[in-house]
Amino acid sequence: MGTSLLLAVTALVTLIAVPASRDLFNAVRERNERDGKQRLVPILIDDECVRRDR
């Protein structure tokens, strides 16, 4: 009886842990993507300045 109880508890913990860890990994990945986009700096290149320097 102890083995079947241990097996049931292990199955329950697995059923809880797998979706929770998946949500955690998705949240971390989304945060990393968002942080990466915030570090980007738009650059405007003025074609007239480039032509005058030549």
Q: What φ, ψ does residue 11 adopt, rounded to 5°?
A: -65, -40
Question: Which of residues 40 and 7 earns the better pLDDT score?
Answer: 7
DSSP character string of 13-52? HHHHHHHHHHHHHHHHHHHHHHHHHHH-------HHHHHH
33 class by beta-carbon count within 10 Å (0-12 exposed, 13-18 middle, 19+ buried):
exposed
pLDDT of residue 32: 85
In whole angstroms, give the CA distance from residue 50 to residue 53: 5
Please give the model's pTM, rounded to 2 decimal places.
Answer: 0.48
Whether residue 51 is predicted with pLDDT greater than 90 in this model: the reply is no
pLDDT one-digit tens code per residue, 11-46: 999 999 888 888 888 888 888 888 877 777 778 777
